[in-house]
Structure 1
Amino acid sequence: MTDLSASGWTPDRAAELPPGTAPGRVSRVDRGLLSVLTAAGDARVHPAAALYDADPGGPAVGDWVAIRGELAVAVLPRRSAFVRTVAGRTSAAQVVAANLDVVLVVDALIGETRLRRVERYLAVAWSSGATPVVVLTKADLCDDVPAAVELVAEDALGVRVLAVSAVTGEGLDDVRALLGPGRTAAMVGPSGVGKSSLANALAGRTLVATREIRDDGRGRHTTTARELHVLPGGGLLVDTPGMRELGLYDDTEGVGTAYADVALLAAECRFRDCRHRTEPGCAVAAAIVDGRLDPARMVAWRKLQAEAHRQLLRVDARARAAEHARVRAFHRSLRDQPHR
């Protein structure tokens, strides 16, 4: 028997369990099977078909599920979740990881600065309900770590920025301090930024296979599935595959938080419908002119705002279409069976 508090279980969740079930935390999702952490140890259970009816549907890594026998019959309410739009031309949501305390937005301290990419991940992370932290890897390959960290910190408002090296161990204790017993973090970021190497360094053993670094200093990410790992100090870490694209999912609130400085300036504009171009009394334009705001950051803010708005419209349209289809099916059934 194991203490489930080490897996993040809290006593108040007991009321959420259906009668006759036991809790388990999803550590990996495979086709037709869930790997779960239970009081009796690791187990493999089948998800009930009803688990995929919800939107966003299906159990995700980090979820707590109610288990009856060898079947997971319910997903307990999520306290937090990192959610993105499924890659491709779709408005469907995908839960990357659930019930997180911390979201580690991982990027590398080599190559050109990728501020816009970090900002996009932070916008989604702020909406997750967890605390975002930026982790900049490969500090041993960077000539001026303090300057690189400061550059990112200027845009990552209200977010702690840590520089780490899986090779020298620099900064690893700062990351471990975020992951006390029962606390869960998810690492998110593109391929090759060192997420797998960081996971292995935090665990003190090989959790995830890595490949040799390429000529440009970037690694080749080999994680193929999201998985929850238990660390020696009692924390839990979700390693995720690199994301080729991170689509916002109904994320206007996260965009506003990630770009709080721009949003505050926009609120000071003379006109409420200011487009921040040539309108008189535009506080955003004035901040760009006097050097208080990077124009590239303003452009990124407008781009993510527009993307979040389009996604919201797509989600609403899908919901309306589903409701219209339900009503049509209902009336069609009445016509087919008028006396029932």
Structure 2
Amino acid sequence: MSRQTNADVHSIHVRSQGNFRPTNRTSPPIQKPEPFDEIMTLHDLGFDPWFAAHAPESQPDGCSFARVCAVDRGSYCLGNESGEVPAELSGKLLYQSDRKADLPCVGDWVTAQYYDQGKAAIIHQVFPRKTYLRRRAAGGSVDQQMIAANVDIAFVVQSGHFDFNPNRLERYLFMTADGQVEPIVLLTKTDLLTLEELEQRLSIIASLTTARTLALSAVTGTGLDELRDVLAPGKTCCLLGSSGVGKTTIVNRLLGRDAFDTRTVSDSGEGVHTTTRRQLILLDSGAMLIDTPGMRELGVLGHGDTVDAGFGELGELAASCRFADCTHRHEPGCAVRAAIQRGDLQEERYANYLRLKKEAEYFEMSSLDKRKKDKSFGKLVKSVKKGMKG
């Protein structure tokens, strides 16, 4: 977790939490940044009454609350009132987690036990998540991958130049709806657009969502003040978008310095992917910003109702369909198909709706089958263990 000061972007002091030592060290801890002289509170890190009410009822002796501020290939970094330290998972947490999605991700609140005079920690429990951002794991898996947790606002970043992709934008918007996160669309690289092109891009976005949209240019600074106004103290925001759309450049502009590496844009004006891990950055305004690597694949999760919620105008049209269970594919009296024929609804948007709906339904069915198989396998293991004891 990083924060801007007048001199640099730093970390938080580390405090001693006892001399507990782990017995199951796994991957090496994340290297923490240099310290700075400022005391934080859990409230500064986003701990509010909701988390206080959902804290684990019991916890191991000597544990305290902390927030996950970085995850990198199985290693973790935690932030608390007075420090930022590398951490690893307890053996019990690893054993009891049936899915990777149950393990901590950036933004999670956890209970942790500190050792080595407070220079490292063991994560024992993960709080319930108020909100989340997730996708289907890359490849053909039906598993889910957590992107971030307990996010208030998701900034969906779209390049206004060659990489502008309305279908991909709809997928990101579906991700935010699935996790109950407020979306704000950031249209970047507007300095590379003519006024006519900019208006066209904004018109397309407005046809897809009622979410607030900000047009930005990291070169001219256009829109950055409006973005800063959104970054209220205690709020957790997350940057979502493909590689090269300018997420890390936005972070650097908000910090006021080149705190994180970027690479020179290509001849086409598109950026090059540089962010390699998810990390929570504490801004000078008191807001927290999670930067994420670009996603090449964006398989959707959730269920059909979430897809419907993301396509509001289709839901309104569907209410006028002849059949209540209309699939909007072949049924007579379908108001959605009629709207397409009249030109009131774009064929491409309808096609994307069907694709997302099909993906969501497939995942819902496949994940249910997977849970049944995992449950059956778990029963088999317990039965074998019981037989061995007998």
Please give the range of the TM-score, normalised by the shorter of the 2 chains: over 0.9
Match of 1:300 among 333, 352, 356: 352
Name 1:3's counterpart in structure 2: 41
Structure 1 moving runs of 4+ over 6 Å: none
TM-score scaled by length of structure 2: 0.81
How many Å separate the matches in 2 of 1:152 and 1:210?
A: 27
Name 2:372's counterpart in structure 1: 320
CA spacing shift, 1:232–1:330, aligned 2, 3 Å: closer
Structural RMSD (CA): 1.9
How many Å separate the matches in 1 of 2:49 and 2:382?
A: 43
Secondary structure of the residue aligned to 1:202 is helix
Q: Note if contact 1:60-1:96 (Cα within 8 Å) is conserved in structure 2.
A: yes
How many Å separate the matches in 2 of 1:312 and 1:106?
A: 27
Q: CA deviation at 1:298?
A: 0.5
Q: Note if contact 1:104-1:185 (Cα within 8 Å) is conserved in structure 2.
A: yes
Secondary structure of the residue aligned to 2:257 is coil
How many Å separate the matches in 2 of 1:278 and 1:251?
A: 22
Q: CA deviation at 1:280?
A: 2.3
How many Å separate the matches in 2 of 1:14 and 1:281?
A: 51
Q: Mean Cα displacement is larger for which, 191-200 or 108-117?
A: 108-117
How many Å separate the matches in 2 of 1:91 and 1:46?
A: 26
How many Å separate the matches in 2 of 1:204 and 1:71?
A: 34
Deviations 1:79-131 (A, max 9, x none): 11101111011111111011100011111111264111100110011111220
Q: CA deviation at 1:47?
A: 1.9
How many Å separate the matches in 2 of 1:334 and 1:50?
A: 20
Name 1:116's counterpart in structure 2: 167
Where does the alignment leave 5 or more consecutive residues of structure 1 unmatched?
none
Q: Mean Cα displacement is larger for which, 74-83 or 253-262?
A: 253-262
Deviations 1:195-243 (A, max 9, x none): 1111111121223211111111101020011111111111111111110
Secondary structure of the residue aligned to 1:6 is coil
- Is 1:42 paired with 2:94? no
Match of 1:218 among 270, 292, 303: 270
The one-letter code sitting in structure 1 at the alignment partner of 2:112 is I
Q: Mean Cα displacement is larger for which, 282-291 or 293-302?
A: 282-291
Q: Note if contact 1:192-1:220 (Cα within 8 Å) is conserved in structure 2.
A: yes
Name 2:146's counterpart in structure 1: 95
CA spacing shift, 1:333–1:13, aligned 2, 3 Å: closer
Q: Note if contact 2:178-2:301 (Cα within 8 Å) is conserved in structure 1.
A: no
How many Å separate the matches in 2 of 1:174 and 1:36?
A: 30
Q: Mean Cα displacement is larger for which, 197-206 or 106-115?
A: 106-115
Q: Mean Cα displacement is larger for which, 118-127 or 9-18?
A: 9-18
Secondary structure of the residue aligned to 1:46 is strand
Name 1:147's counterpart in structure 2: 200
Q: CA deviation at 1:12?
A: 5.0
Match of 1:30 among 55, 59, 72: 72
The one-letter code sitting in structure 1 at the alignment partner of 2:270 is R
TM-score scaled by length of structure 1: 0.93
The count of aligned residue pairs is: 337
How many Å separate the matches in 1 of 2:227 and 2:308?
A: 26
Name 1:199's counterpart in structure 2: 251
How many Å separate the matches in 2 of 1:135 and 1:252?
A: 26
How many Å separate the matches in 2 of 1:258 and 1:13?
A: 27
Name 2:16's counterpart in structure 1: none
The one-letter code sitting in structure 1 at the alignment partner of 2:41 is D
Q: Note if contact 1:125-1:254 (Cα within 8 Å) is conserved in structure 2.
A: no
**Structure 2 counterparts to residues 1-340 of structure 1, below 5 A:** 1-11=39-49, 13-14=51-52, 16-17=55-56, 18=59, 20-52=62-94, 53-55=97-99, 56-69=101-114, 70-111=121-162, 113-144=164-195, 145-156=198-209, 158-332=210-384, 340=390
Q: CA deviation at 1:332?
A: 4.6
Q: Mean Cα displacement is larger for which, 45-54 or 21-30?
A: 45-54
Name 2:32's counterpart in structure 1: none
CA spacing shift, 1:322–1:112, aligned 2, 3 Å: closer
How many Å separate the matches in 2 of 1:160 and 1:152?
A: 10
Deviations 1:8-67 (A, max 9, x none): 112553451536421111111134532111112211222213334154221101111111
Q: Note if contact 1:51-1:57 (Cα within 8 Å) is conserved in structure 2.
A: no
How many Å separate the matches in 2 of 1:190 and 1:50?
A: 36
